């Protein structure tokens, strides 16, 4: 993943992160984002981990109840047509 350093986030220096790591990590746990700087240059970003969401089976089944059936052969052919399966690395 690539993140733009212009993204919203509070800037903290490497030293602040070292000295206040507990406080900063608690804030990350609450959803805050931090951009870590070293000598005034952004070098990293601390983001909260996206928590997995549980969806009950019944909800999924009802969401797809009216979906069209999938033709496996057609699906595979469409995937094969759009995916480069060449094993030789590109230069």
Question: Kindly report the CA angle at 46 between 42 and 51, in degrees rounded to 5?
Answer: 155
Q: What pTM does this model have?
A: 0.52
pLDDT in tens, 27-58: 999 999 999 999 999 999 999 998 888 999 99
pLDDT at residue 40, rounded to an integer:
93
The structural domains of the chain, with segments of one domain joined by +, span 10-46
| pLDDT(90) > 70 | no
Is domain 10-46 classified as CATH 3.40.50? no
In three state form, how does the secondary structure of 3-19 look? Answer: CCCCCCCEEEEHHHHHH
**Mean pLDDT, the chain, integer:** 87
Mean pLDDT on 20-26: 96
């Amino acid at each position: 993943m690539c993140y733009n350093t212009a993204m919203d986030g509070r800037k903290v220096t490497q030293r602040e992160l070292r000295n206040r790591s507990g406080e900063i990590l608690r804030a990350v746990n609450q959803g805050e984002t931090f951009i870590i700087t070293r000598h005034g240059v952004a070098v990293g970003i601390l983001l909260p981990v996206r928590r997995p969401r549980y969806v009950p089976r019944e909800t999924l089944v009802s969401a797809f109840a009216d979906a069209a059936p999938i033709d496996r052969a057609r699906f595979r052919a469409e995937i094969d047509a759009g995916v480069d399966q060449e094993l030789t690395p590109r230069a």
